[in-house]
Amino acid sequence: MTEDAITQHLIDLMAGGHFQVADDNTFFFHGTDNKFPFATIVTKDNDFDSASNLNRPGVFRLNVGVGKETFRALFGELDEGNIDFTALDKLMPHPVYAKMYWVSVINPSNKTFETVKPLLTEARSLAIARDKSK
């Protein structure tokens, strides 16, 4: 999958949401407040997040905020010491935001992206629910 293909899928999924590009990273929002994205595509390391070595040519990471139950069903009790955060095409806890139930995958293949699609739908539904509870 390419960044553009993932972005297009998310645009199609959002139906009323929007995205914002900042510093070559893409943030996907429900609603208009731009406070908390439900998914992001990150293309390079920064001062607080360099575990994935995103500065490699052609490498990007898709990040998705899922619910606590989904996160635990995917990963159980988190043991970050056994995770290679630089691995390509592997669904894993987010290297910084796992405690907030974010998952990530670097350069997902078509097959891996199919497993991520329901997570994107869940993340958007959670964002909608947060907006309604305000």
Count of the separate structural domains present in the chain = 1
Other beta carbons within 10 Å of 76: 8
Report residue 1 CA to chain centroid gap.
14
Higher pLDDT, 122 or 14: 122
Full residue range of the structural domain in which residue 89 is found? 3-132
Q: What is the pLDDT, as a whole number, of residue 15?
A: 78
CA angle 55, 60, 63 (to 5 degrees): 125
pTM exceeding the 0.85 threshold for the entire prediction: yes
Looking up residue 44, the CATH number of its domain turns out to be: 3.90.1150
Whether residue 79 is predicted with pLDDT greater than 90 in this model: the reply is no
What is the C-alpha separation between 45 and 30, in angstroms, rounded?
25
